[in-house]
Chains A and B, each alone.
Chain A
Amino acid sequence: MHLNPTRRQVLQFLSACGVSLALPAMTARAAARRRDERPKSLITLWMNGGMSQLETWDPHPGTKSGGEVRDIATTNKDVRISELLPQMAEQLHSCMLIRSLTSKEGDHERGAAFVKTGYRPEPTLKYPTLGAIAAHELPNSELEIPQYVTLAPDRIVPEGGYLGNQFDAFRVFQPGMGLSNLKSYVSPERQADRLQGLNVVSRQFEQRRQFGAKRTLHQNTLDRALEMMSSEQLKAFELDSETSGVKAAYGDTSFGRGCLVARRLVEVGVRSIEVTLPGFDTHVANHSGHVTNCKILDPAIATLIQELRDRELLDSTIVLCISEFGRTPGINPAAGRDHWPNWFSCMIAGGGFRENTVIGSTPTDVFEGKKADGKLILPAEPVLVPELYATIMATMGIDFRKEILTPIGRPIRFADALPSAYLLKNP
């Protein structure tokens, strides 16, 4: 007798009995789906301020640009990463590192806009983020909570852009610590009375504004907000049912809790989630800044990947760790590194992307972004952000070539590039 069933077998069994252990957003059947049978979700881990590639995924120890950091071996025998990420070193066989992302935007706001949307910012049109496009294109009708969530967000809010602000990410400022504005501050009886009164006043407004009022979507938005207030799926934002061991593994930090909530949101069927870790704008004391931040990042991201794998969710979840740009190879007089869009790194795990792989390499001890003749110096095997995003969209089942007629009358494609099969496990 087989007494050690896999998690999948247990879920299949329970699902057959009409029982689901998952949080109740998907149907029991959908929740039980694993690996690539399951619709794909995207978790973006946003390293706000510009993470240094040299102190994380692309160290150059022993060189002038390398700074104080040393490298360590990883589970990918050909790859060494920063000593500041020891737990991630144990997960690297599940990951793909891209060390050759390039951008032309060296300003925080412009850089973030470019890396979040795949389009360089322009004054006349706001582009939607990758997450907003996923929410727009892959609606989950079972979901009573928002389709696009940002946890511990910074000032730059992921936006729906030309798709409309209804596709802006739902912001959770303190992940795992409760949600604001989701409980009425009066008794249920009084709330019921209030809503009844609201019907009377709304009816008066709508009486002779039949078409106009419909276009405002006011009632529709209100109904969805009320549905969310009473939804069982809100439990995905709570961590009470998680063991103290799991919570400790992610780390008792806002980012750690954010990653844990992100896993729970994936389980209920949320398609795109962003978790922000601030503090990477290390113009001063770059090394110590990264020591501090990597202590938060390393356990959270490693545990997230491990847990997704254990729950057989990694094949259907893309985990992308990225920032608006990298940091200069040169170290300034304040022991800091400045903005460097010429090359920077990102890490991708799951979702059908290649594993145990490194793409691109960067020059050592090159301190200028341009040659004497003004031409840009590029890393080997450069990967463009729009190309990466087209690939993610294709992987998620989004038509990256789809054109939307924007409010300024210009048709714009979701992705400004073609996908790269080279980035995928099974192209």
Chain B
Amino acid sequence: MRAVVILFALLIAVLVLKAVQVAGRVEQLSGSPAPVADDQQLGAAVARLNEQFHRQWQAENVQVVDSVDDFSVLRRLSLAMFGTVPSLEDIRAFEHDDQPNRIDRWVVRMLQDSRYSDYFSERLARSLVGVEEGPFIVFRRDRMTAWLAQQLHKDASWSQMTKELIAAEGLWTDRPAANFITVARMEDEGLNVNKLAGRTVRTFLGQRIDCAQCHDHPFDPAWKQADFEGLAAFYCQASLSPGGVTDYKSGEDKQEVVYKVVDPGAETGRVVPSAVPFHPEWLPADGGLRHRLAAWVTHKDNRRFERAIANRVWGFMLGKPLHEPVDDLPHPVDGETDALDILGQEFRARGDRLSVLIRMIAMSDVFRLSSESSADDEETYTKQVQAWSVFPLVRLRPEQVIGSLFQAGHVRSIDQNSNPFVRVTKFGNENDFLNEYGDLGDDELLQQVGTIPQALLRMNGRFTAEQSKVDGFSAPAQILSFSPDNAALIDNCYLACLCRHPAVDERAYFLNLLESTTEAAAEKRQANPEAPAASPESKPTRTRAQVVEDLVWTLYNSPEFSWNH
């Protein structure tokens, strides 16, 4: 009995602590984010970026669309940085923030939120190690993403992270960056240096030279087969042992480990020395092969390095990279500076932290452009899309769809402070949904349309049914209970699902439905008992709760919900 009492007391104590914690957090959220320190201001850098686009638009004579309101920007930011639409709680706090530089202050706060580091680490991991299960035992994707999240949370330097990834040594569990190497283990072959070379160039330099593994690049005379082989040779000393990733310095015969390529039909392999395809002067003279490669890749003058990450982060933020495919950038041209260079230079000048890229993009004019266009013909619209003078319409990623469904089904933000039950349910829902909806794999920035099974899942799947239900503490139930009138009810549903207020005709349509419910009819009868009874045909059949559920279902299935716009 005593044990039960103690347990009960402990439970109460935990609940009280949790309540205090949540209350504290709500207070913190409801306040405005603090001003950004003077030495962290990016105004001049953003102005440079904007100027570049305005010059381009003028030169190409393209129509530039209007800007959107801050609510739309908040939705875009939340989708890009948290993978969900903003919660009604956050929207209301944002709405009441009337201090200057609202967007930048909110971005800075979002960068400190673990939802950002968790979500961005998952997206970065795709380019670093793909989405495959990877080799058994020696590859731990979860450790890799946790390490990336940690680095992002402390706003670590990207070049430092890159060096750790390329030159990682140790156990894949103890030194998570080593998973970048171990994922390239092939059954019966050991580490596949070709896979590592291809991935290094694609991820860190934003270029594709994979086909040069077997022959000179067919479309780009700059990439020769020898370039690929020379880069692959930097990984030839890496090996896997029970102690993790190590670098063999010498083989069994005490000879230095060298990289050999066996040509088709050849009896023996030829030795290929490690070599870089350009600017060998950036390569340090000393150090292990992988350390030297890492130093060359991240060298301060290597424009490809900064352009690659700028293009990828642009893709994360807008759903579409500046150059497509994301890892097939053109060679940088001496004396020419484009938007990627500007982003890259400002990023380098500020300690090459991803947060700088995110803030610059979030504050740029392009990020604020509307996706609405008054173009009269398809050609004009295409020109606008190509010149980034209209915001691109991009299908939400699968985890953004379920993340948004789940967030819109709750009034409060779902984060690390949420009730454990809510978090566990979210995790389970996400996995089940992704299994059914499908994942984009490594090609996450490839533009795709939706499929019929996805439309069926959104319309008839259990996830939509659960999140639109007026039940317990769900957002539809709370909105129904606490909205002072029908107009506010519709407004809250729109904000929770689409992060905007309804248009006039939308409000009128749903108001009409809410005024034709059984409850509305009962109220009218009560107010005017003498009025003649309605005919059976015109008698309302829907309850208010059903109309709210139908409204939320409608918003979940609208194109606006499943597209970034």
- Point out residues on A near B: beta carbons under 8 Å: 106-107, 109, 122-124, 126, 146, 157, 164-166, 168, 170-171, 180-186, 189-190, 193-194, 197-198, 200-202, 204-213, 215-219, 221-222, 224-225, 228-229, 339, 373-374, 407-410
Asked if B375 is at the interface of the complex by the 8 Å CB criterion, the answer is yes
Binary CB contact string for chain B from 448 to 481 against chain A (1 if under 8 A, 0 otherwise)? 1111111111011100010000000000000000
12 residue pairs bridging A and B, Cβ less than 8 Å apart: A171-B453, A181-B453, A182-B460, A186-B550, A198-B554, A201-B554, A201-B558, A204-B505, A210-B375, A212-B381, A212-B390, A221-B454
In the bound complex, do residue A374 and residue B262 qualify as a contact, i.e. CB atoms below 8 Å apart? yes
Which B residues are CB-close (under 8 A) to A124?
202, 208, 210-211, 325, 327-328
Asked if B393 is at the interface of the complex by the 8 Å CB criterion, the answer is yes
B445 CB → nearest A CB, Å: 11
**B465 interface neighbour in A185, A209, A217, Cβ under 8 Å:** A185
**What 7 pairs between A and B have smallest CB-CB spacing?**
A208-B372, A225-B455, A197-B554, A211-B381, A218-B559, A181-B456, A201-B558
Which B residues are CB-close (under 8 A) to A207?
372
In the bound complex, do residue A209 and residue B509 qualify as a contact, i.e. CB atoms below 8 Å apart? no
Q: How far is the CA of A374 from the CA of B132 in the complex (A)?
A: 30
Q: How far is the CA of A146 from the CA of B199 in the complex (A)?
A: 36
The residue on A at minimum CB distance from B198 is A123
Q: How far is the CA of A221 from the CA of B453 in the complex (A)?
A: 9
Q: How far is the CA of A407 from the CA of B448 in the complex (A)?
A: 11
Given A181-B453, A185-B465, the answer on whether A197 and B262 have CB atoms closer than 8 Å is no
A298 CB → nearest B CB, Å: 30
Asked if B438 is at the interface of the complex by the 8 Å CB criterion, the answer is yes
Which A residues are CB-close (under 8 A) to B442?
123
In the bound complex, do residue B452 and residue A228 qualify as a contact, i.e. CB atoms below 8 Å apart? yes
Which A residues are CB-close (under 8 A) to B375?
210-211
Given A184-B460, A212-B371, A216-B393: 10 more A-B contacts, CB < 8 Å: A109-B132, A109-B133, A124-B210, A124-B325, A181-B461, A186-B550, A205-B565, A208-B372, A212-B381, A218-B562
Within 8 A of A (CB), among B472-529: 503, 505-506, 509-510, 513
**A200 interface neighbour in B374, B382, B461, B505, Cβ under 8 Å:** B505
Asked if B282 is at the interface of the complex by the 8 Å CB criterion, the answer is no
Which A residues are CB-close (under 8 A) to B374?
208
Given A123-B210, A211-B373, the answer on whether A229 and B456 have CB atoms closer than 8 Å is yes
B130 CB → nearest A CB, Å: 8
Which B residues are CB-close (under 8 A) to A218?
449-450, 559, 562-563
Asked if B267 is at the interface of the complex by the 8 Å CB criterion, the answer is yes
Which A residues are CB-close (under 8 A) to B541?
189
In the bound complex, do residue B438 and residue A165 qualify as a contact, i.e. CB atoms below 8 Å apart? yes
In the bound complex, do residue B451 and residue A221 qualify as a contact, i.e. CB atoms below 8 Å apart? yes
In the bound complex, do residue A181 and residue B457 qualify as a contact, i.e. CB atoms below 8 Å apart? yes
Which B residues are CB-close (under 8 A) to A212?
371, 373, 381, 385, 390, 393
**A201 interface neighbour in B188, B208, B506, Cβ under 8 Å:** B506
In the bound complex, do residue B565 and residue A209 qualify as a contact, i.e. CB atoms below 8 Å apart? yes
A328 CB → nearest B CB, Å: 11
Which A residues are CB-close (under 8 A) to B39?
none
Which A residues are CB-close (under 8 A) to B373?
208-212
Asked if B553 is at the interface of the complex by the 8 Å CB criterion, the answer is yes
B249 CB → nearest A CB, Å: 26
**B559 interface neighbour in A200, A216, A229, Cβ under 8 Å:** A216
In the bound complex, do residue A221 and residue B450 qualify as a contact, i.e. CB atoms below 8 Å apart? yes
Q: How far is the CA of A180 from the CA of B433 in the complex (A)?
A: 13
Q: How far is the CA of A165 from the CA of B447 in the complex (A)?
A: 10
**A209 interface neighbour in B324, B371, B382, Cβ under 8 Å:** B371
B451 CB → nearest A CB, Å: 6
In the bound complex, do residue A200 and residue B560 qualify as a contact, i.e. CB atoms below 8 Å apart? no
**A190 interface neighbour in B378, B506, B550, Cβ under 8 Å:** B550
A82 CB → nearest B CB, Å: 26
Q: Which of A215, A224, A228, A229 counts the most B-chain CB atoms under 10 A from its CB?
A: A215
Q: How far is the CA of A253 from the CA of B315 in the complex (A)?
A: 45
In the bound complex, do residue B188 and residue A166 qualify as a contact, i.e. CB atoms below 8 Å apart? no
In the bound complex, do residue A221 and residue B449 qualify as a contact, i.e. CB atoms below 8 Å apart? yes
Binary CB contact string for chain B from 370 to 404 against chain A (1 if under 8 A, 0 otherwise)? 01111100100110010000100101000000000
Binary CB contact string for chain B from 180 to 206 against chain A (1 if under 8 A, 0 otherwise)? 000000111000000100110010000
In the bound complex, do residue B456 and residue A216 qualify as a contact, i.e. CB atoms below 8 Å apart? no
B508 CB → nearest A CB, Å: 9
Q: How far is the CA of A2 from the CA of B555 in the complex (A)?
A: 63
Given A170-B452, A201-B560, A228-B456, the answer on whether A407 and B446 have CB atoms closer than 8 Å is yes
**A182 interface neighbour in B130, B436, B456, B560, Cβ under 8 Å:** B456
**A198 interface neighbour in B132, B382, B452, B558, Cβ under 8 Å:** B558
Q: How far is the CA of A23 from the CA of B186 in the complex (A)?
A: 48
Asked if B215 is at the interface of the complex by the 8 Å CB criterion, the answer is no
Asked if B302 is at the interface of the complex by the 8 Å CB criterion, the answer is no
The residue on B at minimum CB distance from A110 is B186
